[in-house]
Chains A and B, each alone.
Chain A
Amino acid sequence: MKPRQNTTLPIPPERAPERKLLAALRAKTLVPTLIEVLSRGQVKAREDDARILRDWIESLHADPGWNIIGARIEALADGSAKRAPHASADWTQLWAQAVAAGWSPRSDHHHALLFARFCDEALSKTDFEHAEIFWKESVAAWLRVLDSDYLDAWLKGMGAADLKTRRHLLEPLIAARVSQLRRGLSLENAANPTALDLPQTRFAWQALNHLAEQIKASGTGEPALLALGEEVARARGETQADILRQFARMIDALDLSSPDIEALRAPFLWAGAIFDILPMDAAVAARVSDAAVDIGWKLRKLKPDDLDTAMPKLLNAARPFNDALEAFILEGEAFGHNSTCADFLVFRGEHRARSKGRDAYFERAIAVCPGHRNASMMLSYERLRALSDLLLRVRMVPSAITMLPGTATRVESAIAEAWELLDQAEALYPSNETIQEYRQQLAHEAERLGREKSS
């Protein structure tokens, strides 16, 4: 845990009315300029900003950071410098230098609130690029504020030194982002619960992630920040659970009696779009894969006319979830879903347009679910199909050719490969009825070519 900075009191001593009036007049000229510069020209000061931010101006003037940006701001405010300061390439660098020189926690308290407001204004114009910059600046300012004893003194000044108040204090910091996330996912939109605003969702999710990461990286021991980190995790978990509930409702609403593939795919495409932004954990991967497998089995049972085109479309929509589930199982992070995952892979193998590479799906299915009956059976047939192809080629070899130098070795290795395929097919699915037939055919060819099985 990092030691915290000792700072001046957050509530400065009461100033004389004359000084307050002077500060107010100074704020009138400086606040609009500062807002324009800090927001990179994106935000105009409101009518009441000079009043609300008077304390900010007073606080800034006493900070080392002001020595870095003060001259520029004063010159811009009195009109002696060129306008459009946000366009100046060195502003970002200058601001970083000012931050490094130091702002008091009180100034940073203002910065945190201001940058959050700029972020909201950028979002109202769907300007996600600036919104991200402002969100990160706001988070950085909050972390600087809370890396000091400022909050101790502030809470003491408010007569609220209890831990409970402190732990809940920062909740408003994420309220707008959590609400934006839920709005983007239509989680409270009963009229159209499946509508998605992906850019808003992406921004809100990434903003919450950034905050959680910054809290973690700061190594803070501040209860308010630690509780905020927990709150972010809780909000993300709750959102994920609500998404899965909505997904379940969409699946339940499907009419499988007269399946329309586009309608069947819709819940999976919806979930796919969301979990392209949100991280997919084993529970999500298993839930969605399970639904796809369930529909897959029902379709097989119903045998609609377009099954051969419908199944690949369905499987393709749910594929990212099953691929993720497969990885979770192989990494030992998912348990109890092996059979579902293997079923899905078998479906994919079965409905693969080309036969080449089909066996790879059945092999993957057996890897996640050793002994999976359908995968073993399908792979057994795939081995026999390969054996059949090999036998076709072997049958065309005249027995006399084995007398030629070099040919005997090639024939021998082809026969050995054929026996290997037959053994694998048998081991995978001993009750495969065609094995005996293939054995006889292979024995016959081996004998014809003088290459009987030695063992």
Chain B
Amino acid sequence: MSEHDRPNNPARQNPFDRLGLDPSLSAAQLTERLQRMAERLTPEKRDEVRAIWRELTLKDSERIKLAFFAHPGSSESIDELRRKVAPAPPQIAGEDEANFEATVFDALLEFGDSNQPGGLQIDESLLPDAGFMRIRSEGLKP
């Protein structure tokens, strides 16, 4: 098997998958996306993208075939998605501020297994679950 035929050779990968392109994009949309992409690339990589652009836009039937053999759905990078997510509104001081200082219940959870001899023996009201329930109902205390 030649290097080109090896499955891990990126050149063998479906171009939609390889470049993170949504397979449902039209030829015009692909041109626009690839053009934008190429602007940020080195000349060699740009040539690669140009070859893919030709492959995807020269014949509609070929683009559709390649699209069907790409994994469905868009696959933008996580960074791109992060950019799209609106930043969280700044919090007003004092509003819904959780205080994560340790409480007695956290300390209890740190102890050894109560089922083992020598482990901390606690009654039902102090079981970790009961502690969590209390934290939930009473909120964390300073």
Q: Which B residues touch A124, using CB under 8 A?
A: 1, 5-8
Whether A120 contacts B75 by the Cβ 8 Å rule is: no
Task: Write the A326-368 contact mask toward B (1 if CB under 8 angstroms, else 0).
Answer: 0000000000000000000000000000000000000000000
Q: Does B107 contact A (CB under 8 A)?
A: no
Interface hits, B37-71 → A, CB 8 Å: 60-61, 64-71
Q: Which A residues touch B67, using CB under 8 A?
A: 158
Which residue of B7, B71, B81, B86 is within 8 Å of A56 (Cβ)?
B71
Q: Which A residues touch B74, using CB under 8 A?
A: 55
Whether A171 contacts B84 by the Cβ 8 Å rule is: no
Give the complex CA separation of A160 and B85 in angstroms.
33
Q: Which B residues touch A11, using CB under 8 A?
A: 24, 72
Cβ of B38 to closest chain A Cβ, rounded Å: 19
Cβ of A111 to closest chain B Cβ, rounded Å: 10
Give the complex CA separation of A53 and B71 in angstroms.
7
Interface size class, chain A: 35 or more
Q: A157-B24, A160-B64, A168-B65 are in contact. Are A55 and B6 (CB under 8 A)?
A: no
Which residue of A52, A120, A157, A160 is within 8 Å of B60 (Cβ)?
A160
Q: A17-B81, A17-B85, A154-B68 are in contact. Are A55 and B73 (CB under 8 A)?
A: yes
Q: Which B residues touch A159, using CB under 8 A?
A: 26
Task: Write the B1-42 contact mask toward A (1 if CB under 8 angstroms, else 0).
Answer: 100011110000000011010001010000000000000000
Nearest to B66 among chain A residues (CB) is A172
Q: A21-B82, A124-B7, A157-B24 are in contact. Are A55 and B71 (CB under 8 A)?
A: yes
Nearest to B17 among chain A residues (CB) is A52
Q: Which B residues touch A48, using CB under 8 A?
A: 17-18, 20, 75
Q: Which B residues touch A157, using CB under 8 A?
A: 24
Q: Does A106 contact B (CB under 8 A)?
A: yes
Cβ of A276 to closest chain B Cβ, rounded Å: 23
Q: Which B residues touch A28, using CB under 8 A?
A: 78
Q: Does B77 contact A (CB under 8 A)?
A: yes
Q: Which B residues touch A165, using CB under 8 A?
A: 60-61, 64
Cβ of A337 to closest chain B Cβ, rounded Å: 40
Number of interface residues of B (CB under 8 A): 32
Q: Does A149 contact B (CB under 8 A)?
A: no
Whether B81 contacts A172 by the Cβ 8 Å rule is: no
Whether A169 contacts B64 by the Cβ 8 Å rule is: yes
Interface hits, A49-82 → B, CB 8 Å: 51-56, 58-59
Which residue of A21, A121, A123, A158 is within 8 Å of B24 (Cβ)?
A158
Whether A109 contacts B72 by the Cβ 8 Å rule is: yes
Cβ of B95 to closest chain A Cβ, rounded Å: 21
Q: Which B residues touch A51, using CB under 8 A?
A: 20, 75-78
Nearest to A16 among chain B residues (CB) is B85
The residue in B20, B85, B86 that gathers the most chain A C-beta atoms within 10 A of its C-beta is B85
Q: Which B residues touch A17, using CB under 8 A?
A: 81, 84-86
Whether B72 contacts A120 by the Cβ 8 Å rule is: no
Q: A46-B8, A124-B1, A168-B61 are in contact. Are A52 and B72 (CB under 8 A)?
A: no
Whether A54 contacts B69 by the Cβ 8 Å rule is: no
Q: Does A10 contact B (CB under 8 A)?
A: yes
A contacts, CB < 8 Å to B: 10-11, 17-18, 20-21, 24-25, 28, 46, 48, 51-56, 58-59, 106, 109-110, 113, 117, 120-121, 123-124, 154-155, 157-160, 164-165, 168-173
25 CB contacts below 8 A, A to B, read A10-B72, A17-B85, A18-B85, A20-B84, A24-B78, A25-B78, A48-B20, A48-B75, A51-B77, A51-B78, A53-B75, A55-B73, A55-B74, A55-B75, A59-B72, A109-B71, A110-B71, A113-B70, A124-B6, A158-B64, A158-B67, A165-B60, A165-B61, A169-B64, A172-B69
